[in-house]
Amino acid sequence: MEVTPYVPSEYSLPKTEYDPHRLPPIRSGDLVSKSDETPIYTVNNNRYALPPSNILRAISDQQSGEIDSWPANASGGSGAFRNLALTNQGRLVHTGASLRGKLDTTPKPRFLAIIEDYLYRELKALGVEDTVANESRLQVFREVFSTIIDDFKTYKPLLSAIKNEYEIMLTHLNDKVIDLEPLRQQLVLLSEQCDKKLMQYRKEEREEISLLKEEKRRLQQTIRQLTNQNQNLETNIQRLQDEVASQYQLYRKELDARKLLMNDANDLRNQQEKRIEDKEGIDEQGMKKEDPIMMRIALKQARKDLNGALAKITHMEANYNDVVPRRDFVALEAKSGECLQRIKELQIVNDNQSQEIEQLRTQNENIKEDIQRLQREKDELNLKNENIHDEMTPRPSWNLAGEVIDGGAERWMNVSVSKTSQEKLVLLLNEFTGGNDDDGSGNLSQTTTIPEQLSPRGEGEQVPFHLRSSRAVKNRRLTRRDVAVLIQEIWTERRISDKQDGRTKSLSEFIYEFFRNRYGNHNTAVEMGYNLDYSCKRFKYNENCQLFYHILSGEADEDIYHYTKNLIEQLADRIIKESETHPNGTVTADAFQNMLAKYLPHKTPSDISELVAATEKEQPNTDQLSVAKLFSVDDEDNYGEFIRVLKRHLNEDKQSYVHDVSEKIENSSSVSAKDLEQTLRAINPHIQTNELAHVVQWTFEAKDGSQIPSMSVNDILQRLQNGVFFRQHTLAAS
Tell me the sheet residues that pair with 83: 95
Give per-residue burial for 459-480: e unless 16+ CB within 10 Å, then b. eeeeebbbbbbeeebebbbbbb
At 100, the pLDDT band (50, 70, 90 cuts) reads very low
Check: CB of residue 629 under 8 Å from CB of residue 640. yes
Tens-digit pLDDT profile for residues 143-160:
889 888 888 888 889 989
Specify the pLDDT at position 683. Answer: 87
Check: CB of residue 50 under 8 Å from CB of residue 39. yes
Q: Is the peptide bond before 685 cis (omega within 30 degrees of 0)?
A: no
User: In three state form, how does the secondary structure of 666-729 look?
Assistant: CCCCCEEHHHHHHHHHHHCCCCCHHHHHHHHHHHCECCCCCECCEECHHHHHHHHHCCCCCCCC
Residue boundaries of the structural domains of the chain: 164-376, 561-721
Residue 644 confidence (pLDDT) above 60? yes
At 322, the pLDDT band (50, 70, 90 cuts) reads low
Mean pLDDT of the chain: 77
Residue 224 confidence (pLDDT) above 80? yes
At 46, the pLDDT band (50, 70, 90 cuts) reads low
Tell me the sheet residues that pair with 625: 587
Residue 58 amino acid letter = A
Tell me the sheet residues that pair with 245: none
Choice among 100-114, 211-225, 348-362, 574-588 with the minimum mean pLDDT: 100-114
d(CA 246, CA 248): 5
For helices 507-519 and 543-552, angle between their N-to-C axes, nearest 10 degrees: 110
Taking the whole predicted model, whether its pTM rises above 0.85 is answered as no
Specify the pLDDT at position 531. Answer: 93
For every residue of 79-112, DSSP letters joined together read TSB-EEEE-TTS-EEEE-GGGTTSB--S-B-HHH
DSSP 3-state of 406: coil
Range 595-602, long-range pairs (CB < 8 A, 24+ positions): 598/732, 599/571, 599/574, 599/575, 599/731, 599/732, 600/571, 600/731, 600/732, 601/732, 602/728, 602/729, 602/730
More confident residue, 685 or 54: 685
Residue 102 confidence (pLDDT) above 80? no
Average of per-residue pLDDT across 374-384: 85
d(CA 623, CA 521): 54
Alpha carbon of 228 to those of 295, 459, 461: distances in Å?
Answer: 85, 86, 84
Could you tell me how far CA 625 lies from the centroid of its own chain?
Answer: 21
For every residue of 579-618, DSSP letters joined together read HTTSGGGEE-HHHHHHHHHHH-TTS-HHHHHHHHHHHHHH
d(CA 598, CA 593): 9
Average of per-residue pLDDT across 538-550: 85
Label residue 514 exposed, middle or buried (CB < 10 Å: 0-12, 13-18, 19+).
buried
Tens-digit pLDDT profile for residues 614-635:
888 888 888 888 888 888 888 8
Residue 434 confidence (pLDDT) above 70? no
Residue 559 amino acid letter = D
Tell me the sheet residues that pair with 47: 42
Look at the chain and count its residues.
734
Check: CB of residue 163 under 8 Å from CB of residue 169. no
Choice among 293-297, 377-381, 713-717 with the minimum mean pLDDT: 293-297
Check: CB of residue 643 under 8 Å from CB of residue 572. no
User: In three state form, how does the secondary structure of 212-251 look?
Assistant: HHHHHHHHHHHHHHHHHHHHHHHHHHHHHHHHHHHHHHHH
Specify the pLDDT at position 488. Answer: 92
Specify the pLDDT at position 491. Answer: 92
Tens-digit pLDDT profile for residues 721-730:
888 888 765 6
Residue 33 confidence (pLDDT) above 80? no
d(CA 206, CA 198): 12
Check: CB of residue 25 under 8 Å from CB of residue 165. no
CB atoms within 10 A of CB 517: 11
Choice among 111-125, 321-335, 580-594, 659-673 with the minimum mean pLDDT: 321-335
d(CA 26, CA 56): 7
Tens-digit pLDDT profile for residues 271-282:
767 776 766 665
More confident residue, 27 or 135: 135
At 366, the pLDDT band (50, 70, 90 cuts) reads confident
Specify the pLDDT at position 489. Answer: 92
Question: C-alpha angle 623/627/628, rounded to 5°?
Answer: 135
d(CA 455, CA 3): 46
d(CA 538, CA 437): 8
Choice among 10-19, 237-246, 708-717 with the minimum mean pLDDT: 10-19
Specify the pLDDT at position 93. Answer: 47
Residue 397's nearest CA partner among 433, 421, 426 is 421
CB atoms within 10 A of CB 429: 11
Q: Is 583 left (phi over 0), alpha (psi -120 to 50) or beta?
A: beta
Specify the pLDDT at position 126. Answer: 87
d(CA 539, CA 532): 10
CB atoms within 10 A of CB 304: 10
Choice among 16-20, 113-117, 161-165, 706-710 with the minimum mean pLDDT: 16-20
Torsion angle of C-alpha atoms 266, 270, 273, 279, degrees rounded to 10: -150
Tens-digit pLDDT profile for residues 465-512:
888 889 899 998 888 888 989 999 999 999 888 888 888 888 899 999
Residue 286 confidence (pLDDT) above 90? no
